[in-house]
Structure 1
Amino acid sequence: MAASWRVNVFLGLSAFLFTYLFSNVNNTWQMSLFRAGIGFLIFFILGFVIRFVIHQLVSRKNVQLVDKQSSEEKAIQKQAKNIHNDKALNDDVSFQSLPLNALHDGDINTISDIFSDPAEARNVHNQEG
């Protein structure tokens, strides 16, 4: 914000110049100078006010944009994590190691000991017999 006062001085000087030139046609030079000074002060102060309001609006939009981007990134990361976990679960579920003697003997107790879910043990028993 080092150049903020320079912009306001430029606005004030341009208001001073235009006010003096247009007021000098119909008024004395003292009255024109007085009105030009008032114009300078008004535009100088309004420059700060308008720049402050614009800065507040832009910073609020930037915060909302950053929040939106971070929430989108979190959602993408969560989806990627869920996909990775689903893949890992599918890989784990699709492969069950069984001892060969349990397969060949068809012993239900051995198969039910291997599977934690009784429904899985029944499915294996139904496939065998």
Structure 2
Amino acid sequence: MNTDKRTIGVTNDNERVLSDLVASGHFGSELEAAKFAMAVAVRRQTQIGSAEGVGTKWNVGTVDPDGSLKSVIEALYPAAPEPYRLIEYLINEGLKQMASADGLPPDVAGVLFDPAKG
């Protein structure tokens, strides 16, 4: 029986970060920003986990219509039994890692070009 997630969500705190990323003009949609945040978490070698306190944001079919994202996560995290649950966690961890305590929008360029932030 498959117990993996069918929907992907973000926490209330991460909703603000997601909105800030889109408002900054670097992303055309919240889903694009969420996938970028997931990539940040992967690049920073975030370990397997599960997000708590998330609401429903997207259907898995919207996030990963062709299953390629699931395949990448399965290759990078072979011990993860539920890849979509991990994708949700990585999105939330990436957003949390990019959040700015000073209230400014997340520094996308800094994440991309500063090795210390990557």
Considering Cα pairs closer than 8 Å and 6+ residues apart, tell me whether 1 or 2 has the greater RCO: 2
Q: Which has the larger radius of gyration?
A: 1
More helix by share: 1
Question: Could you tell me the TM-score, scaled by structure 2's length?
Answer: 0.28
